[in-house]
Amino acid sequence: MAADQSADLVIETFKLTKIYQNRQIALNDITLRLEPGCVLGLLGSNGAGKTTLLRLLIGLHQPTAGWVKVFGKTMTPNAAELRRRIGYIPTNPQFPKGMTPITYLDYIARLFGIPLGVRKPRLASLIRAVDLLSASGNPISGFSNGMTARLAVAASLINEPDLLIWDEPTHGLDPEARRSMLELIKTLSREKTLIISSHNLSDIDEVCNHAAVLSQGQMIYCGSLQDLKGKMRRNHFEIDLEGDQKAITRAAVTVRALSEYKTVTLKQRKMEIFLNEDAVASTALANLFMTLTDARVTLVGIRSIGQQTEQAFLDLVDQEESRGFARIYRQEAA
């Protein structure tokens, strides 16, 4: 995700740090480089620093240290021209309850200085695109979570931005509304750069091609989503077998005695295995296959258990927490 020329980057941060009230370190030493066309999934548990990072990127907060550049220019609270090129959706967006989608979007468009001749057709096109045409004259106060989320999308697109920054866009949506939102993100990703913050790791897995993982204000991973999956520990497998049940049982007893295996559970012709943390998966599975062959048991299928992106994320956080004291010690020594 790095680029040789900083001017070509959509977003660049350097040692970005935010400390609240001189005591709470919300974000520490974040360096990020985002190329055009990237769809970045921002991952992290509650309090990891995701929303703080997004607010720093759009200039709503000022950094304690470090800097943010957007489209090659430094982002500041007064950088209105830069923010005109960004479409932002906060977590749980709120709207004036007495307004309708038409009046609200027209108001936002006027704030951007969009002339009437451009404003009206764009507004109508967006309302149709987010499927709010039938409710376009209704008060926003009666909207469901899904309708409110779709209105937020329309508002973030009214200025035809080059960069979209959406904080938890599927939060609180029912399955149908969530599916609609994900399909919209896929469509927009063909022509825009996006940053999507989400607690739902399956959403990130579906729509993003890059990921950044925050843990306690530190960025512990930034790179392609495929590389993130490659970092996960593959130590839980499910195996379908075929053959004499007694032979399968004997094979399971032999596998349990192998040093690479933590647990081996057999349910009829389905074997579930957990490898030890230090086991090499390829070696352990090779030994398993030889054991099955010797027992004249046929391997029908094998699969790694657990959602890949979620498992990779959890593994990264576990590793970071396990070396937390060592990292703090190294920083203090430095």
In this structure, what CATH number is given to the domain that contains residue 312? Answer: 3.30.70.100
Least confident of 87-91, 114-118, 304-308: 304-308
* pLDDT at residue 324 in the model: 53
Q: Which residue has the tokens 């520490």?
A: 28
Mark whether 94 and 179 lie in a shared domain: yes
* pLDDT at residue 141 in the model: 92
Portion of the chain with pLDDT greater than 70, in percent:
87
Mark whether 141 and 264 lie in a shared domain: no
Per-residue pLDDT tens over the stretch 45-101: 888 899 999 999 999 999 999 999 999 999 998 998 999 999 999 988 999 988 999
Out of 230, 245, 261, pick the residue that ends a domain: 230
Q: What are phi and psi of 11, to 5 degrees?
A: -135, 140
* pLDDT at residue 320 in the model: 61
Q: What is the mean pLDDT of residues 235-243?
A: 88
Q: How far apart are CA 287 and CA 285, in angstroms?
A: 5
- Dihedral-angle region of residue 25 (phi above 0 means left; psi in -120 to 50 means alpha; beta otherwise): beta
Mark whether 239 and 215 lie in a shared domain: no
Q: How far apart are CA 47 and CA 27, in angstroms?
A: 10
Out of 180, 213, 230, pick the residue that ends a domain: 230
Least confident of 40-54, 160-174, 219-233: 219-233
Q: Quote the domain boundaries for residue 331.
A: 233-334
Q: How far apart are CA 147 and CA 170, in angstroms?
A: 12
Mark whether 315 and 204 lie in a shared domain: no
Out of 230, 257, 277, pick the residue that ends a domain: 230
pLDDT, the chain, mean: 86
Mark whether 223 and 242 lie in a shared domain: no
Strand positions, DSSP E, the chain: 11-20, 24-34, 39-43, 65-70, 73-74, 86-89, 163-167, 193-197, 210-215, 218-224, 236-242, 261-267, 270-275, 298-304
Residue 255 within any structural domain of the chain: yes
Residue 107 within any structural domain of the chain: yes
- Judge contact between 302 and 269, C-beta under 8 A: no
Helices (H), 191-242: 201-207, 225-230
Mark whether 223 and 237 lie in a shared domain: no
Mark whether 111 and 238 lie in a shared domain: no
User: How many structural domains comprise the chain?
Assistant: 2
Mark whether 182 and 278 lie in a shared domain: no
